[in-house]
Amino acid sequence: MQKMPAWADVVLIPLISLLLAAILSGLVILAIGENPWEALKLMISGSVGSSYAWGYTLYYATNFIFTGLAVAIAFHSRMFNIGGEGQAMLGGLGVAYVCLFIPWPHWSLALIGATAASALFGAAWAALPAYLQARRGSHIVITTIMFNFIAAAFLNYLLVNVLKPMGAMDPATAKFPAPTHLPSLHDILGAFGIPFSKAAPANVALLVAILACVGVWLLVWRTRLGYEIRAFGHSESAAKYAGISPTRIIMLSMLISGGLAGMMAINNVMGEAERLVLNSTEGAGFIGIAVALMGRSHPLGVFLAAILFGILYQGGAELALWTNIPREMIVVIQALVILFTGALDNMVRMPLEKLFLALRRGQTATTAGE
């Protein structure tokens, strides 16, 4: 029997968690002598109040959708992929090579090529930890997190010594040629006569991210492989008994996961920066873990959670711009939201379940009494 109606699980619990996080953040802001109400208004208007604000929110959200999906798909086979950060960095390298060294005639072809390259590089970076887990039992959490550092060192080496244009101070590649520049939401919506801010970085990669959500849903719930991944995740021994190869499932789910994380690069590297800079991922790989947790590893949930984190990021940036709240405090606020929605889920869930059970018992008691 379900303890709670579905709407309570999907809507009520995240809302209450958010509210708790907001109250606590408000107290924190109050404690440093700022007005929490003004701060909240600024965060909301700064993240969803204009097309400019939406442009930034959706740009961040696109990053988080990719990394969130990456973590989510690995979760389905009970693999904890903490390496999204490194896989996304390598994806950026794939995008950089494809954009710099292949003369693309049009952005659409470049996008296809870059998507393939980013997925390939990301998947390749996940392959070794996956193989070590599948064949040698090296724990995936340890290996993927160590691969993040290797990726950072590798990219640092390449950018400082190989890819950087001569004489440039910034350890970054040259700017990608013009035909590889992706149309922003301003260009896309402008074609339909909808005005959208020109300055915001959200771009066509958002549509790819939404397609990826649909693709992951189809894969996990509508294909044989998806069934095998879920079966393996629920019980390895039962899956083995049913003839599912653990090595194959671990490898495939991690390769898909790494590929999705790598694809983030078409948004931040190709769409926004239009060159590969050092540390281009900026922790999006780690945010993906929180996004997947909050979204319950479901593509729709990941999509919504990614938007929420986009709002937090962009709202936080506006807060840093227009108030005296230091940026460390903004990280605290973001952390509180992650803590309440991700880690302290049961704190809200258990009392609510009890409440719903009590309500139901009351109902059955009255119907029995009649």
Partner 1 sequence: MTFMTKLLGASAALALSAGAALADPAIIFDLGGKFDKSFNESAFAGATRWATETGGTFAEVELQSDAQREQALRRFAEAGNNPIVMAGFGFATALDEVAADYPDTKFVIIDMVVDQPNVRSVVFSEHEGSYLVGMLAAMASKTGTVGFIGGMDIPLIRKFACGYAQGVLAANPDATIIANMTGTTPAAWNDPVKGSELTLAQISQGADVVYAAAGGTGVGVLQTAADSGILSIGVDSNQNYLHPGQVLTSMTKRVDNAVYEAFTAGVDLETGFNVMGLANGGVGYALDENNAALVTADMQAAVDAASAQIASGELVVHDYMSDETCPGLTF
Residues of this chain that interact with partner 1 (CB under 8 A) are 56, 59-60, 149, 152-153, 155-157, 160, 164, 166-171, 175, 199, 201, 268, 272-273, 275, 277-280, 282, 313, 316-317, 320-321, 326-327, 330-331
Nearer to partner 1, 228 or 272 (CB): 272
We find the least distance from the C-beta atom of residue 202 to partner 1, in angstroms, to be 10
What residue has token string 């991210």? Answer: 209
Nearer to partner 1, 113 or 177 (CB): 177
Nearer to partner 1, 56 or 104 (CB): 56
We find the least distance from the C-beta atom of residue 318 to partner 1, in angstroms, to be 8
CA distance 36 to 25: 8
Nearer to partner 1, 176 or 232 (CB): 176
Nearer to partner 1, 144 or 280 (CB): 280
Measuring CA to CA, how many Å separate 178 from each of 107, 109, 141, 274, 309? 9, 13, 40, 9, 31
Residue 172 phi/psi, 5° resolution? -150, 160
CA distance 348 to 290: 17
Cβ atoms of 262 and 44 closer than 8 Å? no
We find the least distance from the C-beta atom of residue 252 to partner 1, in angstroms, to be 30
Measuring CA to CA, how many Å separate 262 from each of 85, 94, 255? 9, 8, 10
We find the least distance from the C-beta atom of residue 326 to partner 1, in angstroms, to be 7
Nearer to partner 1, 120 or 306 (CB): 306
Residue 184 phi/psi, 5° resolution? -85, 170
We find the least distance from the C-beta atom of residue 187 to partner 1, in angstroms, to be 16
We find the least distance from the C-beta atom of residue 298 to partner 1, in angstroms, to be 27
* Two structure tokens written together for 118: 């980013």
Give the residue from 144, 170, 33, 29 showing the smallest Cα distance to 89: 144
